[in-house]
Structure 1
Amino acid sequence: MNSIKKIVILGGGVSGWIAASMLAAQVRRDLCEIELIESEDIGSVGVGESTIPPVVRLITSLGIDEEDFIRETQACYKLGIKFVDWRSKNQSYFHPYGALGQRIGTQDFYQCWLKATMAGGDYPLQDFSPCSVMAAQGRFFLPAQAMNTPIGGAGYAIHLDAKLVAAYLRRYAEARGVVRSEGNYVAVERRDNGFISALVLADGRKIEGDFFVDCSGFRALLIDGAMAAGFEDWAQYLPCDRAIVVKTGAAGSRMPYTTATARKAGWSWRIPLRNATGHGYVYSSRFCSDTEAKSTLLGNLDAPRINDPRLISFKAGRRLEFWKNNCLALGLAGGFVEPLESTAIHLIARGMDYFLRFFPDLECEPSLRREYNRRMAADYQEVRDFIVLHYCTSERSDSDFWRWCQTMPLPDSLRERIELFKGHGIVREERDELFRSASWQSVFEGMGIRPAKYSPRVDNIELAQINENLKLARSAILNMVKTLPTHDDYLAGRFGVPVVDQ
């Protein structure tokens, strides 16, 4: 077999070192070398400081001790995202991770809840999510330490400092044989078939390889600059194209969730870290100047800033081919969807996971590439549609941006999901999708979209039985959550993290 003997990764940061770590964990070093090229002269975007539950699974899949990772990267826990002012001003809702209710008999929880609610029952949907209830009280406990309890179905992710994560994974990868080389890329050399044979660096060195992974960020030096893989622009669905980011000192209690607040021309995030708080304003330059955006961001900080605001320009969309010839694009080089649902790091890991499933030989057969590209395109499309859902269902009309959202074009794939849900509350779930029914149900409910009917099958259960089950389930979650430590106290007890002064 014509096996790949060397893989070269261009770019470090979180994407590069995730790629290196996953390869090092799965590929024998005596069979395939892995070399990563990065330059200290080039900074990282570093906006992906909020994650989703699959990132925790990535850590454990690498054989990394979760407690050590959280300690060394100064991470905090995350139970979901609080959305403020999205449906309308002065309204908020929570997108929780993990379970949202339990089946009643053989019937789906959401359909039972829908029947009870339509009959006049007062049962806020978020009361049946352990994560929502914990988040509302600022409490946290690891679900694995509370199995077979009312909070056992909770999920969680982490808030992290991207630079510390990159440094941690670098140590992990280098300990497993990955070679890091300092250098600035300037060009590629090619074989007769168009495949890359080597990267040429500014000092004249040539880094030869059999396969190349582009982790060069928005510059996309290989997949775009060398391979011209094409780009599908999603500006018609996601008009935000700028972000201003800044950090402040820690302020108040570290709440176990990200806050996403709708603004005049986009939205802002607040991410509590161990010793700081990350802030950013994602906005559309069609509806807001950079000066106005900076003023909005700085005017809503709740603590003194510890660095200067930084402007990032981006284009929403994805590569037409994530894998072309012997070049694979990961992270920002492959595509970008604004971080409203914290999916950036997941998509990096997903891309490398698919690559390892379809690991090629030197030929990089077109059938493998097509299947890889199909799957990645589907993943990006799913994330895009879920993000667009937050905008297109808003009732706000207080600015040009939000008025545009009310009549915005919708992808056919999202339009079909919305129509299906509005009918009987059915969520279309494709195999291996990231966002499951509970996520779609939470956002639909938060944005005021409720089905016209419940499933007729639910009439197999008497309304009185459903009401009794809902009351018991709600009380069980609430009573247990009251006994849990606050997020700050949990961090202090497990990691010795000092509580932030109020």
Structure 2
Amino acid sequence: MAVTHTSSPTSDGRPAPLRVAIAGGGTAGWMAAAALARLTGCEVALVESDGIGTVGVGEATIPQIRLFNRGLGIDEAEFLRETKGTFKLGIEFYGWRKAGTGYMHAFGTVGRGAGLLPFHQLWLRGRELGMAKDLGAYSLNEQAARAGRMQMWPAGQGSQPDMPWAYHFDAALYAAYLRRFAEARGVARIEGRIESAEKDGESGDIAALVLDGGRRIEADFFIDCTGFRALLAGDMPGQSFADWSHWLPCDRAVAVPCETGGGFTPYTRAAAHAAGWQWRIPLQHQIGNGMVYCSEFLSDDEAEAQLLANLDGAPLGTPNRLRFTTGMRAAPWRGNCLALGLAAGFLEPLESTSIHLIQSGIARFLSMLPRPGSPAGETAAMAGEFNRQSAFEWAAIRDFLILHYAANDRRGEPFWDRARAMELPAGLADRIELFRSTGYLSREHDELFTEAGWTQVLLGQGVMPRAAHPNADALDPAALQRLLAGIESDIAATVGTMPGHANFLRAFCMPQPAKRPAATKETAR
């Protein structure tokens, strides 16, 4: 029995819309469905089963998520209410360089440059002269985060401070929210288990999804959001997987939410331990927690016990254990099938990039959206470019994550000793050495992380340049001291005007009272 997911040419003679079938729901599936429904003319059906659980660990995001929500026309206050979300200004890394130390990778800029000199070169010179404080003193986001403050500036309010934000939210609630959004815009949800993918014998493309009970879902294009199982993408001809576990050897995670004491820190916390790290993600109703670790150095039972011993409050449920291999599918787009989310690969959520990689994959696909019946060569060319861009993006994020592990001074711990001694990808090794030698940084093409992000992590992990740029030596020390003090003073004054994060969130998310109808002669009587 075939489920009707078909289309015919429109009455005015336009070509029939592309029929897209999404296999799997969760965050990836419903993000894709919502975007296709809102931003394209495609006919969309999503197949999922209530009997199959989803992996809900991607609860922290980076500022780009705001672009996705804005593109859909989602109201920010409603979104935060529906997902029990909080604001996020950065990520605190505790114990990564060595035990007892910490730093923050905050969003936004750090300090102000002078001419062609970036701020970190001025900071290095100030440090040589003994007048510069920790780098975070010159970051508005970090100072606001550590003070527990949050603020938005109204549009058009002159010169506004640069303070980008992201969110913490319940990923399951976000998926449910996007499901309502997508279904209201015509997406058909089909309940069922996918048993197989029916292939075209000549091209190898997918012709239909075969569900339990013999139902068939036909489409022109298929998006695989079935998680680690990769039911569709993993079975496409010529598919392979790039395994990066020799650089990022953590292969297990255990996650559990816990009760909250009521405070909402506007930042994520990633605390290193002897064989990996633990995350803390504060939501309105609970705190998300997880332990990422390498099973070679820590057993599953030990990891769970360690996680439960380091919670803010009582656990809410049974810990969820996960197994994974770090890496990516070499060709996320193959034939008429695109892999998104965990079906495309896995990078641990150390820098909160999981949901961003779904978002960027969707945006990339929409920019290359094929037409129904496109020649095989045309589709293959688009798929090749999609895969090239994806490989660059994933590898750039991979290298940024590797930096956190490789540049450490946690001596005498086998996991960290091996990470410090491993051979790095050539591009990363060159970048670290160039920064250590000269303090020079550049952003390659459109890679995700900015110079400010790389600077914060390099310096936070103890990669200290040998000297500042020679042009910084020419600065008058008194002028440099005034510059540093002025930046710090401006930030302190701005943070001092901000409300507490909890109070701001409460006021921002509070539903607006319904407007009373204007009085008439009848109602005024």
Whole-Å Cα distance in 2 between the matches of residues 72 and 332 of structure 1? Answer: 24
After the TM superposition, which residues 476-491 of structure 1 pair with which residues of structure 2 at under 5 Å, given as runs?
A: 476-491=490-505
Which residue of structure 1 lines up, in the alignment, with residue 252 of structure 2? 242
Which blocks of at least 5 consecutive residues in structure 1 are unaligned?
498-502
Whole-Å Cα distance in 2 between the matches of residues 126 and 352 of structure 1? Answer: 34
Confirm or deny: 8 A CA contact 1:143 1:155 kept in the other structure: no
Confirm or deny: 8 A CA contact 2:227 2:341 kept in the other structure: yes
Whole-Å Cα distance in 2 between the matches of residues 106 and 428 of structure 1? Answer: 13
Which residue of structure 2 lines up, in the alignment, with residue 299 of structure 1? 309
Of 179, 185, 196, the residue aligned with 2:206 is: 196
Whole-Å Cα distance in 1 between the matches of residues 262 and 156 of structure 2? Answer: 27
Which residue of structure 1 lines up, in the alignment, with residue 515 of structure 2? none
How many aligned positions are there?
A: 493
- The CA deviation string for residues 303-350 of structure 1, in whole angstroms up to 9 with x for no partner, is 001110110001100001010011000000001000000000000010
The yes-or-no answer on 1:439 pairing with 2:448 is: no
Q: Choose 363-372 or 58-67, whichever is displaced more.
A: 363-372
Which residue of structure 1 lines up, in the alignment, with residue 169 of structure 2? 160
The yes-or-no answer on 1:171 pairing with 2:180 is: yes
Confirm or deny: 8 A CA contact 1:143 1:153 kept in the other structure: no
Deviation for aligned residue 1:13: 0.4
Whole-Å Cα distance in 1 between the matches of residues 420 and 299 of structure 2? Answer: 22
The yes-or-no answer on 1:369 pairing with 2:369 is: no
Write the letter of the residue equivalent to 1:171: R
- The CA deviation string for residues 250-275 of structure 1, in whole angstroms up to 9 with x for no partner, is 12511001110001110000110110
Which blocks of at least 5 consecutive residues in structure 2 are unaligned?
1-13, 512-525
Deviation for aligned residue 1:3: 6.6
Whole-Å Cα distance in 1 between the matches of residues 116 and 421 of structure 2? Answer: 40
Whole-Å Cα distance in 2 between the matches of residues 293 and 147 of structure 1? Answer: 49
Confirm or deny: 8 A CA contact 2:431 2:441 kept in the other structure: yes
Deviation for aligned residue 1:462: 2.6
Deviation for aligned residue 1:63: 1.2
- Change beyond 3 A, Cα 1:494–1:471: same
Write the letter of the residue equivalent to 2:222: F
Which residue of structure 1 lines up, in the alignment, with residue 191 of structure 2? 182
Q: TM-score, normalised by structure 1?
A: 0.95
Confirm or deny: 8 A CA contact 1:396 1:402 kept in the other structure: yes
Confirm or deny: 8 A CA contact 1:97 1:154 kept in the other structure: yes
Higher Cα radius of gyration: 2
* Helix, strand or coil at the partner of 2:64: helix
Deviation for aligned residue 1:168: 0.8
Confirm or deny: 8 A CA contact 2:60 2:167 kept in the other structure: yes
The yes-or-no answer on 1:344 pairing with 2:342 is: no
After the TM superposition, which residues 80-119 of structure 1 pair with which residues of structure 2 at under 5 Å, given as runs?
A: 80-119=90-129
Q: Choose 36-45 or 115-124, whichever is displaced more.
A: 115-124
Confirm or deny: 8 A CA contact 1:50 1:271 kept in the other structure: yes
Which residue of structure 2 lines up, in the alignment, with residue 500 of structure 1? none
After the TM superposition, which residues 327-476 of structure 1 pair with which residues of structure 2 at under 5 Å, given as runs?
A: 327-361=337-371, 362-363=374-375, 364-459=378-473, 461-476=475-490
Confirm or deny: 8 A CA contact 1:16 1:215 kept in the other structure: yes
Deviation for aligned residue 1:120: 2.1
Whole-Å Cα distance in 2 between the matches of residues 357 and 427 of structure 1? Answer: 30
Confirm or deny: 8 A CA contact 2:49 2:191 kept in the other structure: yes
- The CA deviation string for residues 212-235 of structure 1, in whole angstroms up to 9 with x for no partner, is 000000001111034451100011
When the two chains are superposed, the root-mean-square deviation of aligned CA atoms in Å is 1.7
Q: Choose 91-100 or 63-72, whichever is displaced more.
A: 63-72
Write the letter of the residue equivalent to 2:33: A
Deviation for aligned residue 1:132: 0.5
Write the letter of the residue equivalent to 2:492: L
- Change beyond 3 A, Cα 1:252–1:394: farther
The yes-or-no answer on 1:26 pairing with 2:39 is: yes
Confirm or deny: 8 A CA contact 1:236 1:409 kept in the other structure: no
Which residue of structure 2 lines up, in the alignment, with residue 7 of structure 1? 20
Whole-Å Cα distance in 2 between the matches of residues 143 and 249 of structure 1? Answer: 32
Confirm or deny: 8 A CA contact 2:236 2:334 kept in the other structure: no
Q: Choose 164-173 or 223-232, whichever is displaced more.
A: 223-232
- The CA deviation string for residues 257-296 of structure 1, in whole angstroms up to 9 with x for no partner, is 1110001110000110110001100000111111111111
Write the letter of the residue equivalent to 1:190: K
Whole-Å Cα distance in 2 between the matches of residues 488 and 278 of structure 1? Answer: 17
Which residue of structure 2 lines up, in the alignment, with residue 38 of structure 1? 48
Whole-Å Cα distance in 2 between the matches of residues 358 and 453 of structure 1? Answer: 46
Q: TM-score, normalised by structure 2?
A: 0.91
Write the letter of the residue equivalent to 2:94: V
Confirm or deny: 8 A CA contact 2:59 2:281 kept in the other structure: yes
- Change beyond 3 A, Cα 1:146–1:415: farther
- Change beyond 3 A, Cα 1:466–1:38: same
Write the letter of the residue equivalent to 1:437: E
Write the letter of the residue equivalent to 2:175: A
* Helix, strand or coil at the partner of 1:375: helix
Whole-Å Cα distance in 2 between the matches of residues 41 and 450 of structure 1? Answer: 52
Whole-Å Cα distance in 1 between the matches of residues 440 and 64 of structure 2? Answer: 24
Deviation for aligned residue 1:104: 2.5
- The CA deviation string for residues 191-228 of structure 1, in whole angstroms up to 9 with x for no partner, is 21111111111110110000100000000111103445
Q: Choose 140-149 or 157-166, whichever is displaced more.
A: 140-149
Write the letter of the residue equivalent to 1:489: N
Deviation for aligned residue 1:126: 0.5
Confirm or deny: 8 A CA contact 1:144 1:152 kept in the other structure: no
Which residue of structure 1 lines up, in the alignment, with residue 7 of structure 2? none
Write the letter of the residue equivalent to 1:19: A
Confirm or deny: 8 A CA contact 1:139 1:487 kept in the other structure: yes
* Helix, strand or coil at the partner of 1:9: strand
Deviation for aligned residue 1:482: 2.0
Write the letter of the residue equivalent to 2:101: Q
Q: Equivalent pairs: percent with the same residue?
A: 43
Write the letter of the residue equivalent to 1:76: T
Whole-Å Cα distance in 2 between the matches of residues 201 and 409 of structure 1? Answer: 46
* Helix, strand or coil at the partner of 2:213: coil
- The CA deviation string for residues 163-214 of structure 1, in whole angstroms up to 9 with x for no partner, is 1100111111111111111111011112211111111111101100001000
